């Protein structure tokens, strides 16, 4: 490929990376078009978290019109359902559902802490979902069959996890995200861990409330740990 045939890379500032609590912003359209779902636009700075990493997408509006964010193959966050006739360079106003964002950030951050506690037991993480009402972490039960063999044993492990979780939350800790020049983002929870992540997080563990480990079950060869959390 020669330089002359390359599409110039569109710059989009991901404001949601640093601004979990940035619920409204003025922005500029950096790309727009139409696909099978109708009109779409990409704006910068972008406050919308697209679905990814087990976290659902934000809901919100562009100039008052409801839009659904998703990540394009090129890596842009695009807003489907955007008003027609937007062009690159147009100034727009964006807003997201603040309560939903806070709920997603709380569930997601609690998932980091619980995942760390599972790994501290030696469990290997195999997946996660942070959707409200169905949040869970999956681990491989391999090598831990004995401690997970019966409902009573799993309940005892659940209680231990809850106790460890309560201790971490009582201690508290700041949550900080940093993105390097190459675009790799790391999220550090003070006193817990530091891991690559593209989601939204609360500012400190004190922002979490009603964090509960609900149930451990073995399903289709996976250990599934269901939990819930709210934003304080």
Q: Which is nearer to Zn ion, 25 or 187 (CB)?
A: 187
3-state DSSP helix/strand/coil % of the chain, to nearest 5: 25, 40, 35
Which residue number is nearest to Zn ion in terms of Cβ? Answer: 197
Regarding 141 and contact with Zn ion (CB under 5 A), the answer is no
Regarding 47 and contact with Zn ion (CB under 5 A), the answer is no
189, β-bridge pairs = 175, 193
**Are 12 and 44 contacting, i.e. CB atoms less than 8 angstroms apart?**
yes
Q: What does the buried/exposed string (b/e) look like for 19-50 if buried means 16 or more CB atoms within 10 Å of the residue's CB?
A: ebebbebebebbbbeeeeeebbbbbbbbbbbb
Binding mask 159-188 for Zn ion (x = CB under 5 A): ----------------------------x-
Q: Is 77 exposed, middle or buried (0-12, 13-18, 19+ CB in 10 A)?
A: buried
Q: How far is the CB of 150 from Zn ion (least distance, A)?
A: 33
* Residues 195-224 contacting Zn ion, CB under 5 A: 197, 199
Regarding 115 and contact with Zn ion (CB under 5 A), the answer is no
Question: What does DSSP assign to residue 3?
Answer: G
Which residue stretch of 31-39, 74-82, 166-174, 194-202 sits at the interface with Zn ion (rule: CB under 5 A)? Answer: 194-202
Q: How far is the CB of 25 from Zn ion (least distance, A)?
A: 21
Q: Which is nearer to Zn ion, 56 or 141 (CB)?
A: 56
Q: How far is the CB of 55 from Zn ion (least distance, A)?
A: 7
**Are 112 and 187 contacting, i.e. CB atoms less than 8 angstroms apart?**
yes
* Interface contacts to Zn ion, rule CB under 5 A: 187, 197, 199
């Amino acid at each position: 490929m020669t330089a002359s045939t390359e599409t110039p890379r569109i710059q989009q500032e991901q404001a949601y990376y640093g601004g979990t609590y940035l619920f409204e912003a003025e922005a500029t359209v950096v790309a727009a078009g139409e696909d099978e779902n109708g009109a779409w636009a990409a704006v910068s700075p972008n406050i919308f978290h697209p679905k990814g990493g087990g976290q659902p997408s934000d809901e919100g509006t562009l100039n008052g019109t409801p839009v659904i964010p998703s990540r394009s193959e090129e890596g842009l966050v695009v807003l489907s359902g955007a008003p027609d006739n937007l062009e690159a360079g147009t100034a727009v106003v964006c807003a997201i559902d603040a309560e939903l964002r806070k709920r997603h950030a709380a569930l997601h951050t609690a998932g980091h802490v619980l995942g760390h506690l599972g790994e501290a037991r030696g469990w290997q993480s195999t997946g996660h979902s942070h959707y409200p009402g169905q949040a869970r972490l999956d681990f491989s039960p391999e090598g831990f069959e004995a401690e997970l063999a019966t409902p009573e044993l799993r309940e005892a492990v659940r209680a231990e996890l809850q106790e460890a979780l309560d201790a971490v939350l009582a201690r508290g800790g700041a949550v900080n995200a940093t993105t390097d020049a190459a675009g790799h983002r790391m999220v550090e929870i003070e006193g817990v861990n530091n891991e690559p992540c593209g989601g939204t997080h609360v500012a400190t563990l004190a922002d979490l409330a009603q964090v509960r480990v609900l149930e451990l079950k073995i399903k289709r060869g996976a250990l599934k740990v269901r939990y819930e959390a709210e934003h304080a």
